[in-house]
Amino acid sequence: MTRDPQVRITSKLPQSGITIFSAMSALAQEHQALNLSQGFPDFEADPKLISLVQEYMQQGHNQYAPSPGILPLREIVSEGREKQHGALYNPDTEVTITAGATQAIAAILTASIREGDEVILFTPAYDCYAPYVELNGGIPVYVKLSFPDYRVDWQQVKKVLNHRTRMIIVNTPHNPSATVFTQQDLDYLEEITKGSNILILSDEVYEHIVFDDMQHVSVSERPELFKRSFVVGSFGKTLHVTGWKTGYCLAPEALTTEVRKIHQYMVFSVNTPVQYALAEYLREVSATGISPMYQQKRDIFRQALQNSRFNILPSQGSYFQLLDYSAVSNLGDVEFARELTIEHGIASIPLSVFYNEHTDHKVLRFCFAKKEETLREAGSILAKL
């Protein structure tokens, strides 16, 4: 059959192609490279969690869950927040289970952003924020984190604030820089939003992965920030099951009501047996105990690079390690990441892709949520360059 010319639509995201994460993972597969690019573990989750999903399927929990999520899971999330941050979120009206943090972000931005609203984003930034701001008619206002320590310059934020500012998106622990917010960051955030109607989206998917003496601090802890904030989390990141795409959104009732209206038309509800399994599992196993395991992985990777020509930047939280390769190569970061994958068998993510202006500081991001042997092998190859 001959085909007629394809019917086309005008792209709503003309600048977007496939994401760098898909592209680098595909390149890693093509060249059988160690894949330290995309942020997912190469080890299995607890078999107990996996058998719980099977059990709940066999018990017949295979139909739609309630749209906001099953109550036992919302209760667990609420209790965890209270224990860790002293914040009270009503599981009935202020906790929503979503299809990963990504869908929570999409629902929050769709509920909150209108034509002409400005949204402050810190670059380097995780890639799904700006497209959802733009799809809803909003205008991303980019503020660069300082280099090389990747901190927010709050004076700079003050300068871009105006009556059109609708939201500030923060992310701690931070992807890709692996920095974490301090109480002082929360002080500044409080100071600049007090008395305004500015909303905050706080992406905390790596909330349980913090190292050394750092603590995860959250907008949930401060009444002034709590009342204007949506907090986003991800069971995928916490329990090593990124492919299950389950996450949550916490927000005061008035904000949650609007997010749930969008959520119900986006997906209605989220995978039922997985929700039951997560609820039962998290009753017995604390989500808060994973930092030492990841810290060990971070240290194995860093140790292997100790005598290399790479400059190993600090990693305070998340499962990422940044390496400055300026003493190794003059290539641009996208080119160097491709060369590393094709010639040396290690896939990473060039940091310029997290900047709207593709700022290139000759830094690559490596994900160390990998088996120890993967990390040692990757480290020893990099150390020889």
Ligand X SMILES: Cc1ncc(COP(=O)(O)O)c(C=O)c1O
| 121-140 positions binding ligand X, by CB under 6 A | 126
Q: Residue 154 gets which letter from DSSP?
A: H
By beta carbon distance, the residue nearest ligand X is 100
Please give the Cα distance from 149 to 313 (Å, whole number).
Answer: 8
Q: Which of 205, 270, 274, 363 binds ligand X (CB under 6 A)?
A: 205
Residue 116 exposed, middle or buried by CB count within 10 Å (0-12, 13-18, 19+): exposed
3-state SS assignment for residue 171: strand
Residue 126 or 150: which CB sits closer to ligand X?
A: 126
Q: Nearest distance from residue 230's CB to ligand X, in Å?
A: 13
Residue 89 or 319: which CB sits closer to ligand X?
A: 319
Residues 279/76, Cβ–Cβ less than 8 Å: yes
Single out the segment in contact with ligand X by CB under 6 A; choices: 111-119, 222-230, 234-242, 351-359: 234-242
Q: Which of 37, 175, 272, 308 binds ligand X (CB under 6 A)?
A: 175
Q: Nearest distance from residue 129's CB to ligand X, in Å?
A: 9
The token pair at 76 is 């667990």
For the sheet with 320-324, list strands across it.
Answer: 311-312, 320-324, 363-367, 349-350
Q: Is 220 in the site for ligand X (CB under 6 A)?
A: no
| 142-171 positions binding ligand X, by CB under 6 A | 171
| 39-68 positions binding ligand X, by CB under 6 A | 39
- Nearest CA among 271, 249, 262 for reference residue 101: 249
Q: Which of 234, 308, 315, 348 binds ligand X (CB under 6 A)?
A: 234
Residue 179 or 308: which CB sits closer to ligand X?
A: 179
Q: Which of 102, 220, 271, 275 binds ligand X (CB under 6 A)?
A: 102
Q: Report the relative pairing of strands 311-312 and 320-324 from DSSP bridges.
A: antiparallel
For the chain, how big is the Rg over CA atoms in Å? 21
Q: Is 207 in the site for ligand X (CB under 6 A)?
A: no
Q: Nearest distance from residue 37's CB to ligand X, in Å?
A: 11
Q: Which of 96, 242, 269, 271 binds ligand X (CB under 6 A)?
A: 242
Residues 381/346, Cβ–Cβ less than 8 Å: yes
Q: Nearest distance from residue 267's CB to ligand X, in Å?
A: 12
**Count of residues near ligand X by CB under 6 A:** 14
Per-residue buried b or exposed e for 7-18, using 16+ beta carbons within 10 Å of the residue's own CB: eeeeeeeeeeee
Which single residue is written with the structure tokens 């059990």? 55
Residue 165 or 242: which CB sits closer to ligand X?
A: 242
Q: Nearest distance from residue 214's CB to ligand X, in Å?
A: 17
What DSSP assignment string belongs to 267-295? Answer: TSS--HHHHHHHHHHHHHS-GGGGHHHHH
| 285-344 positions binding ligand X, by CB under 6 A | none
Q: Report the relative pairing of strands 349-350 and 363-367 from DSSP bridges.
A: antiparallel
Q: Is 203 in the site for ligand X (CB under 6 A)?
A: yes
Query: What are the residues whose beta carbons fall under 8 Å from the beta carbon of 248, sequence distance 6 or more?
Result: 69, 74, 77, 95, 96, 97, 98, 104, 232, 233, 234, 235
Residues 202/219, Cβ–Cβ less than 8 Å: yes
Please give the Cα distance from 343 to 171 (Å, whole number).
Answer: 34
Q: Is 119 in the site for ligand X (CB under 6 A)?
A: no
- Nearest CA among 299, 296, 304, 246 for reference residue 275: 246
Q: Is 91 in the site for ligand X (CB under 6 A)?
A: no
Q: Nearest distance from residue 171's CB to ligand X, in Å?
A: 5
Residues 148/291, Cβ–Cβ less than 8 Å: no
Q: Nearest distance from residue 278's CB to ligand X, in Å?
A: 12
Residue 205 or 219: which CB sits closer to ligand X?
A: 205
Q: Is 238 in the site for ligand X (CB under 6 A)?
A: no
Q: Which of 68, 91, 124, 247 binds ligand X (CB under 6 A)?
A: 247
Q: Which of 68, 100, 138, 273 binds ligand X (CB under 6 A)?
A: 100
The token pair at 339 is 């060369």
Single out the segment in contact with ligand X by CB under 6 A; choices: 68-76, 98-106, 296-304, 338-346: 98-106
- What single letter denotes the amino acid at residue 65? A
Residues of this chain that interact with ligand X (CB under 6 A) are 39, 100-102, 126, 171, 175, 203, 205, 234, 236, 242, 245, 247
